[in-house]
Structure 1
Amino acid sequence: MDLKLLFFQAIGGLGMFILGMKLMSGGLQSVAGDRLRNFLEKVSSNRVVGALTGAVVTAVIQSSSATTVTVVGFVSAGLLTLTQAVGVVLGANVGTTITAQLIAFKITDLALPAIALGVGLKFFAPRRKWRYIGEVILGFGLLFYGMDVMKGAFKPLRSHPEFIAFFTRFDADSMLGIMLCVLTGTILTVMVQSSSATVGITMALASEGLLNLPGCIALILGDNIGTTITAELAAIGSSVTAHRAARAHTMFNVLGVLYIVVFFHPFVGLVEWATSTFLGVGPPETLIGGEKPYIARYIANAHTLFNIINATVFLILLPLLVKAAIKLTHGDDDGNFEDLAKPLHLDRMYLDNAAVALTKAREEIVRMGWAAAEMNQKVCKVLFTRKRDALKRSLTIEDSLDRLHREIVEYLVQISRSDITEAQSRELASLMRMANNFERVGDTVENLAEFIEEIMESELQFSDEAIKDYKTITERVSMFMDMVVTAVAEKDPQIMEMAKLLEDDIDQMREEMRNNHLNRLRDGVCQMDPSLIFVNMLNNFEKIGDYCFNISQAVAGVR
């Protein structure tokens, strides 16, 4: 027995399995991901509807990671409340078990034909949609072929004494054995970053007689803990609410595994009874030709049953779970923009998933927009407070906005190099336009800061009428800024009507205020130096209104 050859066969089979799963998930997301992402944004606050939504979306796109990452992003952007997000993620845990159910079917004979058909469609189909469908079929074939290769690698090991001795340690006949299996499943899932891959490995080992059903179920329980690392990673650098959503995800998986471990043997009995009674499947330990042909179905059902039970329990206890997540995650969302130049959401790990990557880019642009809005408000107030430190702080924000803008543009360019849909291409162009205009807002506010600094250094004074006009136009510009940033976060297609009114209003204000000021200058009410600065400031406020209108057009998809 060449153990090195068997090792590479097992690793190669696992590689094909994971590649197949990624291709299938990526293809499904390309076909339906954008519509499902929009569906997620409109999720009801009803916890049951939220859970059902998460289950359906995850079952369709075959990726709980994509669902949880997207939900964490929506929470960070303020599109979902913490309660809504936790409900959706509970459902996502149920939806992801569909992969295990698919694997449990004995359809390996279709693997090679599926690969052939998938390659034909993916590389030779004339229409983009058919190429994505080919990707799904190719992934489906590779998944099952990889599973078959893994099983072939494990087959010789069932008669090897050392391996038999090793795998008998995963016999969950004691609490120590159960906990060892749970820990192993957790570590394995964290390593391969895929709960479905862990389930596939477990099924392959069990089918070749190397694991019994209790040991497999304990491994699967650990797999549910290991998969929480994805949401925790997605929350790094996000808002406190996003951290709380990830923390709730971890808590209900860990707590769910703990109470199932306490009732482990009754749970195993429930899985055996339900599978044999309702599906008419033979006993899990049945051996035919040295293999266990039925055990995979029991493993898949254990995975599904655990997540259904756990989701049901925590849907009932959802308010308590949310409160616990809040208490365990300290902090508040205070609009702090320290270290603004460092992106919080542009993680390269999402670049192979355009739908998620675009969501992360939008989150960063929203963050950029709020920083620009804060900068504008702080600078405008300095005319009254005369605090030079506030001006310095604002200029620091502007430098950070420039660097952040470059990071966002680079990230969007990297997304554009991947195979994206026409809808995603349009969204990418809109996001690019939003980022460019927020950067221009920062430059224009920097100009305002320089004018105010000149006023303070030269000890110039505006007339009472000019001060009144200044307050009026700054309030209107701040309102416009807040409105467009909120619209970017919420992807509000109805923004154009209000945006047009505000832009026209600011243009009209600029004209009227400038004419009134020139009249005061002619009448000797105002002096020349502050008058020139005031008119220039009005022009800059009008520019900010134009940039906000451009962002509104990008949000509405007008340009």
Structure 2
Amino acid sequence: MNFTGIIIQALGGLGLFLFGMKLMSEGLQKVAGDRLRAFLEAVSNRRVVGCLVGALVTAVVQSSSVTTVTLVGFVNAGLMNLTQALGVILGANVGTTITAQLIAFKISDLALPAIFIGVAFKFFAKRRKWQYVGEIILGFGLLFYGMELMKNGFKPLRSHPEFIAFFTKFDAGSIGGILLCVLTGTVLTVLVQSSSATVGITMALASQGLLNLPGSVALILGDNIGTTITAELASIGGTLVARQTARAHTLFNVMGVLYIVVLFKPFLWLVEWVTGGIMGIGPAQQLVGSEQPNISRYIANAHTMFNVINATVFLACLPILVRVATKLTWGKPEEAQMMDLGRPMHLDYKFVDNPTVALTQAREETVRMGRLAQVMYRDVTEVMFNRKLEHLARWKQSEEALDNLQKAITDFLVQVSQGTITDAESREINSMLRMVNNIERVGDATENLAELTEEMVENKLELAERGMEDYRTMRNKVGRFLEMVVTAAAERNRDIMEVAQTMEDEIDFMREQMRDDYLTRLRSGVCTVDPGLVFVDMLTNFEKVGDYCYNVAQAVAGLR
């Protein structure tokens, strides 16, 4: 085979490998659905638990980049603090090594049958869940078929003098050689955006005798630095704590590689002892035919052992890592961002192709919008008691902010819906759109209350004592309803319809009863016409707020 043929076959194999990895990862995420998101969101402050969760989730989705980017998105949305996220990311580094362990198995004979079965499921299965299973199987087959193509593509290089001379430079027999291999692994991983692909390329070269074990292990160390670029890119434009999360991820991978480089020979001895001694695998560079089949297992074990050691070391000193990452990340705290009420704080368009993160961010922004509506409602309705018109000055700013947030969240969700999403994600998008629209209507009704209150205060109109009691009762009842539905949205409490129905009925009944009572007092001369007419309009708008809260409750419960 000529040089062009070698390059084409190797690159074609790499392309199939990457496509298979992506397909398998996406299929696994779709099958897992919301359970993965709920699993990550439920992470506690216990660092060991977080690490185990990260390892498990990454082993399931077969991509540490997916887990890490998801976590950066969660931190950006305020769902996690820095310490929680870092514990999970340490586990994700361990979980991603499962891919290398799978590649090291000699199951390439199953690649073509897996591709056939995967295509059959993906294109002919009627249920969407089985189509996703087909994606997983098809991705699995393409991954191993691509790996086999890469190995076969590299075979002719074994007898090519120029290439043999080139690969002898990747001999980690000295610090200079180790650093060259680490740098190469880093650059290669940045280029292909996949640490698993770098591992696959390294295994393919090593199996053909083009790389020895020390050089292969040093290349694998470099891929742990290169993989941090994904999180760094995801954090650009995010909150300060999101950037700190990405910076800490880079920090512990770089520091981990540095101390392993210093202890390279003992680490290499440990890899050989575990793989050859405990696991009973033959010598790494033992030839079977013209290949070195055992070396892949040594490389996979080196990858796993590095990340297990690194996770253990940094779990023990996680608070120190958090402080260092905080000091190394420049930027102003988010209080300045808080001042711009109408500016979305949690939405990041880099995540629209990742529904797990995007929908979490949209929900957090929706809850924030609901909290803003609560503040607006409380401030406006309080003026009837303190008669201070200056307290009404903020309602216009709040109403504009609600309008801006409605548009921003809606545009964001529409973009997410145009990607590849599951039925459950589609329903969640529809529910959130309903929530956002009704929260904005709460703002409209509160605006009407503000204008009516301003009319009362400016014209020095006073309600009778009974009218003020009714106003206070209605105001508090509707305020509690608004608080309940916003809290339910934040907590994803779907069991609220019974209470919501009761409160909606009570508010409707109170409106009718209070209006009738006013008419009775008007006829008896207890109250006057002008303030009473304004009061009736207020009751109408309170009842509208109750209706909108009921609509939000339906969306939270998943009914609409």
Whole-angstrom distance in 2 between the partners of 1:482 and 1:77: 21
TM-score, normalising length: structure 1 = 0.87
1:323–1:513 Cα change, 3 Å? farther
Matched ranges for 1:343-492 at <5 A? 344-347=346-349, 349-351=351-353, 353-377=354-378, 379-380=380-381, 384-387=387-390, 390-415=394-419, 418=420, 420=422, 422-451=423-452, 458-463=458-463, 465=465, 473-474=474-475, 476-492=477-493
AA of the residue aligned to 1:258? L
Q: Which moved more, 1:135-144 or 1:69-78?
A: 69-78
Match in the other structure for 1:198: 198
3-state SS of paired residue (2:338): coil
The unaligned stretches of length 5 or more in structure 1 are none
Partners of 2:344 and 2:365 within 8 A in 1: no
Whole-angstrom distance in 2 between the partners of 1:430 and 1:445: 23
Whole-angstrom distance in 2 between the partners of 1:492 and 1:123: 37
TM-score, normalising length: structure 2 = 0.87
Partners of 1:225 and 1:250 within 8 A in 2: yes
Q: CA RMSD in A?
A: 3.3
Matched ranges for 1:116-265 at <5 A? 116-236=116-236, 238-265=238-265
Whole-angstrom distance in 2 between the partners of 1:461 and 1:180: 83
Partners of 1:405 and 1:436 within 8 A in 2: no
3-state SS of paired residue (2:418): helix
> What's the % identity of the aligned pairs?
61
Match in the other structure for 1:544: 545
CA drift at 1:483: 3.8
Deviations 1:250-271 (A, max 9, x none): 3322332222222222112211
AA of the residue aligned to 1:59? A
CA drift at 1:487: 2.7
In the alignment, is residue 277 of structure 1 matched against residue 285 of structure 2?
Answer: no
Partners of 2:478 and 2:507 within 8 A in 1: yes
In the alignment, is residue 103 of structure 1 matched against residue 120 of structure 2?
Answer: no
3-state SS of paired residue (1:170): coil
Question: What is the number of residues matched between the two proteins?
Answer: 554
1:100–1:394 Cα change, 3 Å? same
3-state SS of paired residue (1:336): helix
Match in the other structure for 1:94: 94
The unaligned stretches of length 5 or more in structure 2 are none
Partners of 1:181 and 1:219 within 8 A in 2: yes
3-state SS of paired residue (2:293): coil
Deviations 1:430-473 (A, max 9, x none): 233223323333333343444456567x5554447566665665
Larger Rg: 2
In the alignment, is residue 61 of structure 1 matched against residue 53 of structure 2?
Answer: no
Whole-angstrom distance in 2 between the partners of 1:235 and 1:281: 42
Whole-angstrom distance in 2 between the partners of 1:555 and 1:425: 14
3-state SS of paired residue (1:439): helix
CA drift at 1:385: 4.5
3-state SS of paired residue (1:345): coil
AA of the residue aligned to 1:214? P
Q: Which moved more, 1:188-197 or 1:104-113?
A: 188-197
AA of the residue aligned to 1:283? P
Partners of 2:78 and 2:346 within 8 A in 1: no
CA drift at 1:349: 5.0
Partners of 2:182 and 2:218 within 8 A in 1: yes
3-state SS of paired residue (2:394): helix
Q: Which moved more, 1:364-373 or 1:214-223?
A: 364-373
